[in-house]
A and B are shown apart, each in its own frame.
Chain A
Amino acid sequence: MENGGDNIFVLVLIAILGSVVISFGIFYFFFAYIQKTAKHRQVLQQKEIEYKTLLFNSVVASQEEERRLIGKELHDEVSSVLYAIRLRLKNNSLPDNHSNIEAIDQIIRITRNISHLLSPPEIEMLGFHDSIKQLVDNFSDNDAQLKINLVDHAEGFISRGKFQVSLMLYRIIQELITNTIKHAHAKNIDITIENINSSLVITYKDDGIGMKAESFNNPTLGVKNILSRLILIKAHYNFKEGDGFHFEIILDHNNIA
């Protein structure tokens, strides 16, 4: 049947066949797209698992390292002093009281250092904000060459009872300062603690030799330790390459358990 020169038979047939082709095309589009997203997600998941395994291994390794240090400290310092006292007592050499008291004081000092290393008591007593001040003071007292500026605009953001998150942040800042002292040859460290849109933002900067993004992506044990602690407290971080070391920790208020 002709209509204005067009054959309706042909047009209808083309329209129907066209709709069939389009329908299969739409199906294929979804099929291929879902397949591609699934593959992409699988790769991402695999990477995430590998990364978490890496961080988990670092936790285990640093735990072992800590144990080794404590063991060494106990063996080299505490045991040797106790052994010396024992020898004196055994030989009944009755040494003067003064040297005995000195030896016992030394043991007390060492055990206090070890217990402090295991769990800094000030966190429980002072809470996060004040214990960080104390940590900074301790570092400044021990190293006259290094100037640490701490500015805390978010006092009270982490309340005193939040031990877990306080301890993690304390350890992270401790590790950052230790890294600066060990590797950066820096003269100044600036630590700023702020409350930005209900998030705790800790900015850590030093004026040392800095770190390349490449090195940060293949982290050392210390950096892995920092990252695994950040994951534990569900915090985010920003690392900026450039002059000095620039690191930012962002912790949402809702994630402070």
Chain B
Amino acid sequence: MSYFFISVFVPIFILVPFLLGIIRFHTFKKYDKIMWLYIIVNGVINATVSFLAWRGINNMPIFHIYTILEFIVISFFFKSVHNNKLYTLFSCIILLIFIILSVINSIFIQGIWIFNTYSRSIEAVILIGYCIFGLIQLINKMDSFNNSVFWYTSGLLVYFSASFVLFIVANLTLGIDKSLNWILWHIHAFMVFILYIFITKGFYLGKRRG
């Protein structure tokens, strides 16, 4: 079975938002910059995962680190969007609890050598909540479609809500059928691709706003 879409197309496609981010960087606000940082984190993790897989080394520990990094970056993204003391306090507490629980899970519960389904699915639930809250806040704002936050938040919402079930069953499906895994991770890669498109759209708006 071909893995071109997962291992070549989507990882290379990340260069589109990354390069657009460089070009539009001078027009970026704080939350655009954080989203660009998210793209960089994704790119670096993708490259590391691919490199380790190529060398035949188990790359699962990288996903554990990635989950925490991703949660931190997206939490800071929403914090910079809302810029509200109460929200900052709330998201910092959630962030702290999540990091502690993820580390406990990685060391004592699931271990670092398998996919961290617990942390990843809890992360998805919290971030779906953040995204819905963020979009509700945008409903009554002027010109939401020309606001890059709308596209970042929508991209994250679509990605996490679509991948949520996949994160839960990731370990369960391992022994079932190779073709099932192939389909699931292709769906996941497709959702990542959609997320990158939404982020690219947000970066593109950075220019118009500037």
Partner among B139, B145, B158 whose Cβ is within 8 Å of the Cβ of A23: B158
User: With A19-B163, A26-B161 given, is the CB distance from A9 to B143 under 8 Å?
Assistant: no
Per the bound structure, the CA–CA distance linking A38 and B173 in Å amounts to 44
**Residue contact A38 to B143, C-beta cutoff 8 Å:** yes
**In chain B between 162 and 201, which residues have their CB closer than 8 angstroms to a CB of chain A?**
162-166, 169, 172-173, 176-177, 180, 183-184, 187, 191
Shortest distance from the beta carbon of B150 to any chain A beta carbon, whole Å: 7
Cα A108 to Cα B172 with chains together (Å): 102
Contacts of B173 in A (CB 8 A): 8, 12
Query: For residues 6 through 52 of chain A, which have their beta carbon under 8 Å from a beta carbon of chain B?
Result: 8-9, 12-13, 15-20, 22-24, 26-27, 30-31, 33-35, 37-38, 41
A1 beta carbon closer than 8 Å to chain B: yes
On chain A, the number of residues with a Cβ less than 8 Å from chain B's Cβ atoms is 24
Complex alpha-carbon distance, A23 and B156, angstroms: 10
Assembly CA distance A1 to B150 (angstroms): 42
Query: In the complex, which residues of chain B have a beta carbon less than 8 angstroms from the beta carbon of A41?
Result: 142
B169 proximity list for chain A (CB < 8 A):
12, 15-16
Q: Kindly list chain B residues whose C-beta atoms are within 8 Å of the C-beta of A19.
A: 161-166
Given A12-B169, A15-B169, A19-B163, A27 and B157 touching (CB < 8 A)? Answer: yes
Q: Is the CB of A9 within 8 A of B138?
A: no
Q: Does B83 contact A (CB under 8 A)?
A: no
Do residues A15 and B165 form an inter-chain contact, with CB atoms below 8 A?
Answer: yes
Q: Is the CB of A9 within 8 A of B157?
A: no
In the complex, residue of chain A having the shortest beta-carbon distance to the beta carbon of B166: A16
Which residue of chain B is the closest to A18 with respect to CB atoms?
B165
Q: How far is the CB of B140 from chain A (nearest CB, A)?
A: 7
Across the interface, name the chain A residue whose C-beta is closest to B144: A34
Contact B154 A27, beta carbon cutoff 8 Å: yes
A13 touches B183 (CB 8 A): yes
**Contact among B135, B162, B177 with A20 in the assembled complex (CB-CB below 8 Å):** B162
In this complex, what residue of B is CB-closest to A11?
B169
Q: What is the CB-to-nearest-CB distance from A17 to chain B, in angstroms, rounded to a whole number?
A: 8
Please report the C-alpha to C-alpha distance between residue A12 and residue B157 in the assembled complex, in whole angstroms: 21
Tell whether, in the assembled complex, residue B187 and residue A23 are in contact, meaning their CB atoms are under 8 Å apart: no
A-B contact pairs, 17 of them (CB 8 A): A8-B173, A9-B176, A12-B169, A13-B184, A15-B169, A16-B169, A16-B184, A16-B187, A19-B166, A22-B161, A23-B160, A30-B138, A30-B139, A31-B154, A34-B135, A37-B140, A38-B143
Residues on A close to B: CB < 8 A? 1, 8-9, 12-13, 15-20, 22-24, 26-27, 30-31, 33-35, 37-38, 41
